[in-house]
Structure 1
Amino acid sequence: MRNIILGLLLLGVAANGQNTVPTDYFSNPLEIPLILAGSFGELRSNHFHSGLDIKTQQKEGIPIYAPADGFVKRIKVGHYGYGKALYIKHPNGYSTVYAHLQKYAGAIEAYVKKSQYDNESYEIELFPDASTLNVSKGDIIGYTGNSGSSGGPHLHYEIRDGASRPMNPMLFGVEIPDTKHPLVYTIMGYPIGESAQINQSQNPVKLRLILQKDGTYKVENIIAFGRIGFGIATNDQQDGASNKNGVYEIKTAYNGEEKFEVLFEKFSFDETRYLNRYIDYGYFQNNKSRIQKLFRESNNPLSIIKYENDSGYLDVQDGFTSTYSIEVKDYKGNTVIISIPIEGKNLEILEPKIDATTEDFIYADHATSITKGKFSIYIPANSLYEDTFLKIEAKGDTLTFHEDVIPIHRNITLSVDASNYNESDKDKLFLGRLNYRGEPYYNSTSRKGDKLTARTRTFGDYALVVDTIVPTIKPFNFSSDKWISKNETLQLKIEDDLSGIKSYRATVNGKFILMEYNYKTDVLTYDFDDNISEEGENNLKLIVIDNVGNSATFEATFFRKNT
């Protein structure tokens, strides 16, 4: 008994990602060459990528195999995000996740379909108990697809530890051919202290990279003084693909002494949004390139930072020369090194720090309420990472809420007085964020009396918008009053150009039918294999509702021979 308990304790340590992970426990989930469209820890919009995106030869329907014994612990089907996703718990304490599936396999598909019909809903989340859907290593559990917020056919594959933290699947023996070293695009210098400067500037400076004959890089000599830091734009490419993926490790040194290390092996979902603190968010918004800051600022708890000496900052003294180096590696150990010679001089500042002052100064650790015209704004404590000035102006139904160059961590509440609108229009109002063309995007909005309220984590322009236009519905692969016996599916196109589609419900002969909504193509699809239609005449009814309650109804008759 004592040996069994000791074994379980050791297994628990491994399952929670402590030092050792099993490298031969999981087999590959696909029986095709593994080529990556995305790597673990890759920098994405508001988050780190939590798995591997495996290419599927530009097609859907490739079988996915269980990499080990286990049971299905969670199934989630949604229009967005992971689309059709499957979660399997394994005896060693780890879980594997499969996302953007075309469909599930066998008993899993039957279980999901029955639950969808029982609940009369396409979107569903299920938590089967451990005895309901068991799988053995090598079983087909699903088929690759393009569902949810996928930009093309692929399999998103994750391995999570016992605390549901995603880990780099390559640690577990997933082999990806890679003989290419990481690529470096930009090096930035950041004066940090009050008197700090780089090349006589107190503002961030883009430094000139010089490729050396041996494949390393050197940055043109810089002159600096005071407390400074550096940042890098870098990515990696594996063999067989041109996708720009993330790197595995970045280490820095100052005069040969280790200064800072970032390692993309594991993180928690609770911390993933801090990516916006880790990168130069303003630079990304203006240049669409993510600079990884190689120093830890306040309010950055990221666990991917494995080592830091003085938070990664350098204190450059007048009259001293020094060298800062950056080493970037991919998982296979392919490495690129960047050397930055620094001459310490306290020179005259030619470009003083740019301070854009406004009447609204926000203390990051304080809750703040602001009123502008008919708009009220509530900024909870710790919504922002640092104290800052914000430009906030209201003109009629439009709010200029700063510019999207500062990240927001926690939701900010926007409220607006709509008492000047007709009562019939008030239920059709929403707060929309305006794009660069002034077109509104729907922001989830609630109404209480004359007040409309929305929450946001993005700065920008917002406006009060009235939507009285019903959604449009058109048959896509059939015509009313026609025989469609050869059709495998029934498809309709649904669109709403303002507030967007909220819900839909379809019936044939009064019975609910399951329709899958692809928001990327605006198409609803019913599979005739569900066997709801009858021999001969069938009556279809579809109701579509947008986000402010406008409703459209479509009815049609079709004829079918059941084979």
Structure 2
Amino acid sequence: MNGNLRSILFLLVGCGFFVQTKAQDVLFNPPFDFPIVFSGNFGEIRANHFHGGLDFKTGGVTGKPVCALADGYISRIRVTHGSGYVLDVVYDNGYSTINRHLSAFVGEIARRVEELQYKEESWEVDITPSPDEYPVKAGQVIALSGNTGYSFGPHLHLDVFETSTGDYVDPLPFFKKNVKDHTAPRAQGIMVFPQPGRGEVEGKQTPITFSMQRLGKPIVAWGWIGLGIRAYDYMEGAQNRYGVHTVILEVDGKEVFRSVVDRFAYEENRYINSWTKGQYMKSFIAPGNRLRMLHASNDSRGLINIDEERAYQIVYTLMDALGNTSKVRFTVQGK
């Protein structure tokens, strides 16, 4: 079957059946007509940046039809070495998307890109059509999934933006009725950050990590300290681990800090190294860190003052974007 005929068949068949049964339940149609499983989620901690979207698994193969999530129009068409075949869509509901690592475009877009590649004798192309050139309807097939660019296996990377602000937003809530997941995040360790010249932990003034097993007995500290946690989310039907959507820290029953990884601006990537130490997420705000996803509930940027010789009860609550929740409890002994 040649490429043009295959494109026509996909356009005719589309994701019609799935749209008819599911579209009324969600703000967005899902991009695929098969069960959704992710290889990566929104906001995962990466080297010097946050992961900006969702990575949809495609069963280890390429060529799966990718559907429009709602009514809108194609706003940009690209072929790049980094992201491979890329398609940008502006939707009428106030959101925009970027679909990366595609294997092919379909219909007139496929023909236009191929002609431009031959004309310019370049694999890389960048086209910005007018809003009325390529309108799309919810469920319409707009491309085929792939493994192009700097991809480490067949998948669809989907970025979702709030059109008015340009902020990256977590796409998962839009597809929650299409995702089967009842697995809560799990912690792997705690890090304690004694503040220089103001606190100490276990007799030291440098950060110390504690395994989950070690938390069975109190951590001895004095003065001003910050806490951090290493934790990951998990999903049924996948061996991957993901970033944690919400982390809440309470001391003696009072919330002192909360992080909610639900949106960020591109410029905020610069602050990720201020918030994290390796894979540990700090539960306090370092000076100069302007990440909007971080919220201190006290007047000390989330830092804790251990100034009494008693047991301080610490509780971490970990939550994913679907509401699956776990807790970590331990004691800091003031001494």
Question: Match for residue 186 of structure 2?
Answer: 183
- Spell out structure 1 runs of 4+ moving beyond 6 A: none
Supply the distance in 1 between the matched residues of 2:84 and 2:292 (Cα, whole angstroms). 28
Task: After TM superposition, list the pairs within 5 Å mapping 1:148-547 onto structure 2.
Answer: 148-162=149-163, 163-174=165-176, 175-210=178-213, 218-280=215-277, 284=278, 290-309=279-298, 310-345=300-335
Change beyond 3 A, Cα 1:127–1:334: same
- The answer (yes or no) to whether the contact 1:73–1:129 under 8 Å persists in 2 is yes
Q: Which amino acid is the alignment partner of residue 86 of structure 1?
A: L
SS of 1:100's equivalent? strand
How many residues are paired up? 309
- The answer (yes or no) to whether the contact 2:192–2:201 under 8 Å persists in 1 is yes
- Return the offset for 1:48: 0.9
**Consecutive unaligned residues in structure 1, runs of 5 or more:** 1-21, 212-217, 285-289, 346-563
- The answer (yes or no) to whether the contact 1:165–1:268 under 8 Å persists in 2 is yes
SS of 1:197's equivalent? strand
Supply the distance in 2 between the matched residues of 1:137 and 1:236 (Cα, whole angstroms). 30
Supply the distance in 1 between the matched residues of 2:169 and 2:41 (Cα, whole angstroms). 11
Supply the distance in 2 between the matched residues of 1:266 and 1:42 (Cα, whole angstroms). 12
Change beyond 3 A, Cα 1:234–1:342: same
- The answer (yes or no) to whether the contact 2:203–2:221 under 8 Å persists in 1 is yes
- Return the offset for 1:69: 1.4
SS of 1:194's equivalent? strand
- The answer (yes or no) to whether the contact 1:76–1:124 under 8 Å persists in 2 is yes
Supply the distance in 1 between the matched residues of 2:53 and 2:219 (Cα, whole angstroms). 38
Q: 1:90-128 CA deviation, whole Å, 9 max, x = no partner?
A: 112211221110111111212222232333321122211
Question: Match for residue 108 of structure 1?
Answer: 109
Larger-Rg structure: 1
Q: 1:268-293 CA deviation, whole Å, 9 max, x = no partner?
A: 1111232122111xxx3xxxxx1111
- Return the offset for 1:306: 3.5
Supply the distance in 1 between the matched residues of 2:189 and 2:28 (Cα, whole angstroms). 37
**Consecutive unaligned residues in structure 2, runs of 5 or more:** 1-23
Supply the distance in 2 between the matched residues of 1:92 and 1:113 (Cα, whole angstroms). 31
Identity %: 32
Supply the distance in 2 between the matched residues of 1:83 and 1:307 (Cα, whole angstroms). 40
Supply the distance in 2 between the matched residues of 1:149 and 1:273 (Cα, whole angstroms). 22
Matched, 1:147 2:148: yes
Change beyond 3 A, Cα 1:147–1:322: same
TM-score between both structures, scaled by the size of structure 1: 0.53
- The answer (yes or no) to whether the contact 1:176–1:238 under 8 Å persists in 2 is no
Supply the distance in 1 between the matched residues of 2:243 and 2:42 (Cα, whole angstroms). 7
Change beyond 3 A, Cα 1:95–1:195: closer
Supply the distance in 2 between the matched residues of 1:208 and 1:37 (Cα, whole angstroms). 26
Supply the distance in 2 between the matched residues of 1:332 and 1:100 (Cα, whole angstroms). 26
Change beyond 3 A, Cα 1:45–1:23: farther
SS of 1:324's equivalent? strand
Supply the distance in 2 between the matched residues of 1:118 and 1:308 (Cα, whole angstroms). 59
Change beyond 3 A, Cα 1:225–1:261: same
Question: Match for residue 120 of structure 2?
Answer: 119
Q: Report 1 or 2 for greater relative contact order, CA contacts < 8 Å, sequence distance ≥ 6.
A: 2
SS of 2:301's equivalent? helix
- The answer (yes or no) to whether the contact 1:166–1:268 under 8 Å persists in 2 is yes
Q: 1:503-534 CA deviation, whole Å, 9 max, x = no partner?
A: xxxxxxxxxxxxxxxxxxxxxxxxxxxxxxxx
Q: Which amino acid is the alignment partner of residue 100 of structure 1?
A: H
